[in-house]
Structure 1
Amino acid sequence: MNRESVGAVRSEELNKPGRLAGFLAGGLRPAALFLGAYFLLSIAVRLMLPNALTLDEAEQALFSQYWFAGYGPQPPFYNWVQNAFVSVIGISLFSLTLPKFLMLLLCYVFFGMAAREVDARPAFAAMAMLSLLTLPQLSYMPQQDLTHTVAVLMATSLFLYGLLRTLVRADWQGYLIIGVAIGIGMISKYNFGLLPASALIAVCCDREWRARLFDLRALLTAIISLAIVLPHALWLLGNLDLATSGTIGKMVEANAPHGVARIARALGSLVLACLAFGALTVIIFAVAFKKDFRRSLTAGDRWTRLLGLMMAVCLLGVLLVILFTGTTKITERWLDPYLLPLPLYLLLKLERAGIDTTLHLKRLVPVFIVIMAVTSVPLAGKTFTGGLTGAYTRINYPLASVAEALKAEGRPAVIVAAGMHLAGNMRLQFPDVPVVNSEQPIAGFPAPNAMKGPVLAIWADSGRAAGPLPIDLSSVDTLGLTASPAKSLSLPYYYGDGKMQLNLGYLWLR
Structure 2
Amino acid sequence: MSSSVKAIASPRLFLFLLAGYVLVHLLVRLAMGGTLELDEAEQLILGQQLELGYNTQPPLYSWLQWLFFQMFGAGVLALALLKSLPLFCIYLFSWLTAGKLIDNQRIAMLAAFSLFLIPSIAWESVRDLTHTVLATAIAAATFYTVIRIYQNRSLTGYIVLGVLLASGMLAKYSFGLLVLSLLLAALSIREYRSLVVDPRIIVSGVIALLLLAPHMLWAIEHLDEIRTFISNQVGEGRDAGYLNGVVSGFSSLAKNSAEFLILVWLVLTLLFPSIYRPLPANNANIHRLLAARLLIAAILVCLVLIVVFGATQFQSRWFQPLLILFPLYLLSRAEAAGFSSRREMLLRSVLIFFAVSVIVLRFSQFWLAPYIQRNANRMQYPSTELAAQLKQQGFSGGTIIGDSNLTAANIGLYFDGARLLSPKTESFFADPRTDEVEGQCLIAWQATRHDEMPAGLARYLDSIGISVTDAVPRYIRAPYQYTDSGEYRIGFVLLSSEMSCNQPGTS
TM-score normalised over the length of structure 2: 0.88
Trace 1:149-160 onto structure 2 (pairs within 5 A).
149-160=132-143
Quick one: structure 1 residues 359 and 211, their matched pair in 2 at CA, closer, same or farther if it must change by over 3 Å? farther
Partner residue, 2:25? 42
Partner residue, 2:444? 458
1:86 is displaced (CA, Å) by 0.7
Quick one: structure 1 residues 298 and 132, their matched pair in 2 at CA, closer, same or farther if it must change by over 3 Å? farther
Partner residue, 2:39? 56
Partner residue, 2:501? none
Which is further off, 468-477 or 394-403?
Answer: 468-477
- In structure 2, which of residues 294, 315, 319 is the aligned counterpart of residue 310 of structure 1? 294
Partner residue, 1:426? 411
Partner residue, 1:8? none
Trace 1:292-307 onto structure 2 (pairs within 5 A).
292-295=274-277, 301-307=285-291
Trace 1:393-472 onto structure 2 (pairs within 5 A).
393-408=377-392, 409-438=394-423, 440-441=425-426, 445-447=430-432, 449=434, 452-464=438-450, 471=458, 472=460
Q: Determine if contact 1:128/1:347 at 8 Å carries over to the other structure.
A: yes
1:198 is displaced (CA, Å) by 2.3
C-alpha distance in structure 2 between counterparts of 1:123 and 1:55, whole Å: 38
1:223 is displaced (CA, Å) by 2.5
Which is further off, 431-440 or 274-283?
Answer: 431-440
RMSD: 2.8
- In structure 2, which of residues 478, 485, 494 is the aligned counterpart of residue 508 of structure 1? 494
Q: Determine if contact 1:382/1:393 at 8 Å carries over to the other structure.
A: no
Partner residue, 1:473? 461
Q: Does 1:489 align with 2:476?
A: yes
Could you tell me which amino acid in structure 1 is paired with residue 275 of structure 2? F
1:226 is displaced (CA, Å) by 1.8
Alignment deviations for residues 170-205 of structure 1 (CA, whole Å, 9 cap, x no partner) = 122322232222111111111111222222222222
- In structure 2, which of residues 246, 249, 253 is the aligned counterpart of residue 263 of structure 1? 246
Partner residue, 1:347? 331
Which is further off, 438-447 or 175-184?
Answer: 438-447
C-alpha distance in structure 2 between counterparts of 1:124 and 1:160, whole Å: 19
Trace 1:44-193 onto structure 2 (pairs within 5 A).
44-119=27-102, 121-193=104-176
Other structure's SS at 1:494 match = coil
C-alpha distance in structure 1 between counterparts of 2:191 and 2:69, whole Å: 47
Other structure's SS at 1:377 match = helix
- In structure 2, which of residues 319, 322, 328 is the aligned counterpart of residue 335 of structure 1? 319
Quick one: structure 1 residues 444 and 128, their matched pair in 2 at CA, closer, same or farther if it must change by over 3 Å? closer
C-alpha distance in structure 1 between counterparts of 2:470 and 2:464, whole Å: 11
Q: Does 1:224 align with 2:207?
A: yes
Quick one: structure 1 residues 130 and 209, their matched pair in 2 at CA, closer, same or farther if it must change by over 3 Å? same
Which is further off, 93-102 or 151-160?
Answer: 93-102
Q: Determine if contact 1:419/1:438 at 8 Å carries over to the other structure.
A: yes
- In structure 2, which of residues 225, 236, 241 is the aligned counterpart of residue 242 of structure 1? 225
Quick one: structure 1 residues 424 and 358, their matched pair in 2 at CA, closer, same or farther if it must change by over 3 Å? farther
Other structure's SS at 1:190 match = coil
C-alpha distance in structure 1 between counterparts of 2:129 and 2:83, whole Å: 8
Could you tell me which amino acid in structure 1 is paired with residue 461 of structure 2? L
C-alpha distance in structure 2 between counterparts of 1:331 and 1:45, whole Å: 27
Alignment deviations for residues 34-78 of structure 1 (CA, whole Å, 9 cap, x no partner) = 011111111111122242101111001111112111111211111
Quick one: structure 1 residues 61 and 217, their matched pair in 2 at CA, closer, same or farther if it must change by over 3 Å? same
Other structure's SS at 1:458 match = strand
Q: Determine if contact 2:121/2:320 at 8 Å carries over to the other structure.
A: no
Which is further off, 199-208 or 304-313?
Answer: 199-208
Quick one: structure 1 residues 429 and 460, their matched pair in 2 at CA, closer, same or farther if it must change by over 3 Å? same
Quick one: structure 1 residues 138 and 433, their matched pair in 2 at CA, closer, same or farther if it must change by over 3 Å? same
Unaligned runs of 5+ in 1: 1-10
Q: Determine if contact 1:179/1:222 at 8 Å carries over to the other structure.
A: yes
Alignment deviations for residues 370-393 of structure 1 (CA, whole Å, 9 cap, x no partner) = 111122233433312344454311
Q: Determine if contact 2:402/2:445 at 8 Å carries over to the other structure.
A: yes
Q: Determine if contact 1:130/1:368 at 8 Å carries over to the other structure.
A: yes
C-alpha distance in structure 1 between counterparts of 2:453 and 2:53, whole Å: 36
C-alpha distance in structure 1 between counterparts of 2:164 and 2:342, whole Å: 32
1:482 is displaced (CA, Å) by 9.5
Quick one: structure 1 residues 217 and 117, their matched pair in 2 at CA, closer, same or farther if it must change by over 3 Å? farther
TM-score normalised over the length of structure 1: 0.88
Could you tell me which amino acid in structure 1 is paired with residue 487 of structure 2? Q
Which is further off, 133-142 or 461-470?
Answer: 461-470
Other structure's SS at 2:421 match = strand
Partner residue, 2:9? 25
Which is further off, 135-144 or 396-405?
Answer: 135-144
Partner residue, 1:273? 256
Other structure's SS at 1:208 match = helix
Which is further off, 330-339 or 53-62?
Answer: 330-339
Quick one: structure 1 residues 370 and 271, their matched pair in 2 at CA, closer, same or farther if it must change by over 3 Å? same
C-alpha distance in structure 2 between counterparts of 1:442 and 1:207, whole Å: 46
Other structure's SS at 2:190 match = coil
Q: Determine if contact 1:143/1:375 at 8 Å carries over to the other structure.
A: no
Other structure's SS at 2:277 match = helix
Quick one: structure 1 residues 438 and 273, their matched pair in 2 at CA, closer, same or farther if it must change by over 3 Å? closer
Quick one: structure 1 residues 44 and 23, their matched pair in 2 at CA, closer, same or farther if it must change by over 3 Å? farther
Could you tell me which amino acid in structure 2 is paired with residue 95 of structure 1? A
C-alpha distance in structure 2 between counterparts of 1:357 and 1:263, whole Å: 44
1:442 is displaced (CA, Å) by 5.5
Alignment deviations for residues 381-436 of structure 1 (CA, whole Å, 9 cap, x no partner) = 33123444543110100011111111122313222221122112223122311122
1:208 is displaced (CA, Å) by 3.2
Identical pairs, percent = 26
